[in-house]
Structure formats: structure tokens, C-alpha cells
Chains A and B, each alone.
Chain A
Amino acid sequence: MTIKAVALISGGLDSLLAAKLIQHQGIEVVGINFFTGFCVEGHTHAIRNREGSRPKRNNALWVAEQLGIKLHIIDVVEEYKNVVINPRHGYGANLNPCLDCKIFMIGKAREWIAQHGFDFIITGEVNGQRPKSQLRRFMPQVAEESGADDLLLRPLCAKNLPPTRPELEGWVDREQLKDFSGRSRKPQMALAAEFGFEDYAQPAGGCCFLTDKTYSVKLQDLWDNRGRREYELDDIMLLKVGRHIRPSSAFKLIIAREEGETRYLSGYRKQFQTIKTVSHGGPLALIEGAQLDPQQLELACAITGRFSQGRDAESVEFEFSDHNQDLHSVNVKPLRPAQIDPEWIIL
């Protein structure tokens, strides 16, 4: 009988090691990775300037390649909305519903193993490593509420937890599992060295934009101004890009900060009103809101001009594309820094 496990692969060191520990025991491991739309990597790689020196790799794919396993990337954007909008267990420090997220993803993995004939689930969780979702007292709750129950094995901290079915059935040798706990990364780094992994994603404050304060403020602003807690994929992608400035409740400007962002925002030209500096070098700005009236348009251009090479000029020419993509020429003096109300800037 071939025992098969599915590993939740985030692309970080912990999931790499957890999968490797099980693979090392001769068990067939396949990876799954869930795409929620809030994942930090991938999108941020693509939006930034192409001249950047860091490799543009998806860490989950890279981890799978290190392990020599198949990876299934599953789009959960639609289903995940309910986790973000109505978390049963509330949010963390920002709009991060970490406990609900964990329950959701392990629940999806539980469905996946049932559909594909796999025997159990592996995660790279370490008790005490993160607040709430990885506290030891919440671990049984995650297993229970996800429906995974004793088919959920956490190889990096298994010895701190009651034995699971893979251990009790003898599919996995519990003695070869670990008892890691807490925030220290030293045991993981030592284990990585033992397995010969030298290059792996360094932890950098989580892999989800919802743990980021600035991002959460932007999402809350979006909900507040729409009067309802909902979003589409494009909304949450755009919150990752540019300066977000809301001079009135009627509209918000998303102003590119560099060439890569201008290129990315250009893809939204047909969906938004846009402003482009014509007489000087400058960023592209998307305008989210109803058709601008002349006063609003003048203000939007004056703000955009502040971030152009014509910021000190007496007059800057802009090209405004309205909702019908009809083009209008506008000449405005850019605002001085002191004229931009700090209240307008959404962090």
C-alpha cells in the first residue's frame, strides 16, 4: 500500500522542511498552494521594474522543484472572500483573519485528499511561531473545524502534539518528526543545512498582504467608501500598487511610483478614468470614482502633477481619459507639498 500525503506549500522554509521530513520517510508527497489574491510574492515581483536584480520566481514552485514534487496551484479567490469579509474568529493586528484562513486552507486540503485518494495532510506549522493561528491551544481547533481532524500532521512540531492517525497507523515514524516551537528560526535553519538546502525564502513578515498595516488601511478605506465590505480581484491587486490619495469621497487617485507600476496600471486604462502628464515626464494615475466634474479634474491633475517632473512648473499639461476613453487636454499648476492635505493620503 502506497501512502500519499499532500503538503501545503507556501514557499517558505517551514513548508519545505515539513514536506521533506515526510518525503524522507519514503512517503509520496504532492504539494498544493492556494492563491487567495493577497499573496505577497508573484504579484509584487511582476509589478516592480524589470531591471531589478532579484530573481522573479514563485517560491512555492521553487520549493516544489527542490523537493521534486508536483505542485497544484489552486485559485480560491472567490471562496476566500468570505474568510476575509466575515471571519468567525476575528482579525489579527490588521485585517488578517489568520485563524479562519488556516481553517479554510486545511479544509480545502481535506476536500482535495478525499477527491484525489490521498491519505493525510502536512503543514509547516510550528506551535508558538505566530500569534493566534499557530498557538498550541488553537491547533486542535484548526484540525477539528477544518474537518481534517487526525489526518492533519505537523511534522515540525508533531512531538509537541498528540499523535495523529499517520503516526498511530505506523505510516509515519513519530520518532523522526520534530518538536520545534517558538519564534526562533535556528532549529529550522539547522535542519535545512542537514538536508542540504542553502537557498530558501527568508521570512519577511508573512506571505500575506493582509498582515500589512498599510495594505489593511487601504482595504478598509475601500470598504468604507463603497459602503459595503466586498471586493473583486482587481480591487485587491490595485491596493498593492502606487500612491493612494483620496481628496474627496467622490474619487480616489492611484498614482504610479515608478515605471513598473506605470506599466502595470496601463493595463487598467479601459476600466478607469486616467491622467497622464504630457508636457513633462510623469506617472500614470488611475481615478476610481464617478465621472469627474471640472473642479475635481483640476484637483486630480494638480495632485498628479506634484509627482511629475513638472512639479515646480507654473503650468503642466495633462491628458485626461474619461470613462468613455474620450481624451481631454488639461493645463494646471501642480500642488505644492504643503497643499496636499495629509488626510487625503491613504497611508
Chain B
Amino acid sequence: MSDVVELDARRLLCPMPVIRLQDCINQQAPGTRVEITCTDPGTLHDIPTWCRLNGHRVLATTEQQDDYIFLVHKDADAS
């Protein structure tokens, strides 16, 4: 099991959390998991949408107080 890359996107408003995730994912090898923590409720829609469009998977979404935490898997066949 590979390590999880952690990203802190708290206090950032959409689309900045998506941009942070996108830029991070683009630098990772396929199979990498990225955990991004956000506070913008818009990310509940935008991050899964961006992942669907770009061929990655949201493995888990959790809410902790005001934080939204997404565990994203960079798929091997995604460019």
C-alpha cells in the first residue's frame, strides 16, 4: 500500500482546491492516493466532478466538523 499524499486546501474557495488537487495529481505516479482537506462546501460537488472528468476515483469522503476530506486515487489509465 503506497503512502498517502496529504494536501491542505482549508480556507481556499473553489476552484482553488480543485486546482491544488489537479496540480498535485499531475505530479504523482498512477496508483498514488491523495488526501485533500477542504472547508469550502462547493468541493463536495467539484472534487468528485473533476475526478470523474479526468479519470480518477474518490475512494472516500468524510466530514469532520467544518472540514471535508477526500481520499482520491490516481488511476493508472488516466492521463
Residue ID in chain A nearest B44 by CB atoms = A56
Number of residues on chain B facing chain A (CB within 8 A):
23
Q: Which of B40, B41, B44, B53 has a CB less than 8 Å from the CB of A61?
A: B53
Instruction: Determine the chain A residues whose CB is within 8 A of the CB of B22 once the complex forms.
Output: 72-73
Within 8 A of B (CB), among A34-49: 35, 39, 42-43, 45-47
A interface, over-half SS: mixed
Chain B 44-61, CB within 8 Å of chain A: the 1/0 string?
111001101110000000
Bound Cα distance A50, B10 (Å): 16
Residue pair B42, A267 in contact (C-beta under 8 Å): no
Residue pair A35, B16 in contact (C-beta under 8 Å): yes
Residue pair B53, A46 in contact (C-beta under 8 Å): no
The yes or no answer to B7 lying at the interface (CB within 8 A) is: no
Residue pair B13, A237 in contact (C-beta under 8 Å): yes
Number of residues on chain A facing chain B (CB within 8 A):
28
Bound Cα distance A42, B50 (Å): 14
Within 8 A of B (CB), among A44-72: 45-47, 50, 55-58, 60-62, 64-65, 69-72
Q: Which of B41, B42, B53 has a CB less than 8 Å from the CB of A64?
A: B53
Bound Cα distance A65, B52 (Å): 8
Residue pair A57, B13 in contact (C-beta under 8 Å): no
The yes or no answer to B5 lying at the interface (CB within 8 A) is: no
Bound Cα distance A42, B40 (Å): 9
Bound Cα distance A75, B11 (Å): 17
4 shortest interchain CB distances as A-B pairs: A42-B14, A46-B40, A267-B11, A56-B42
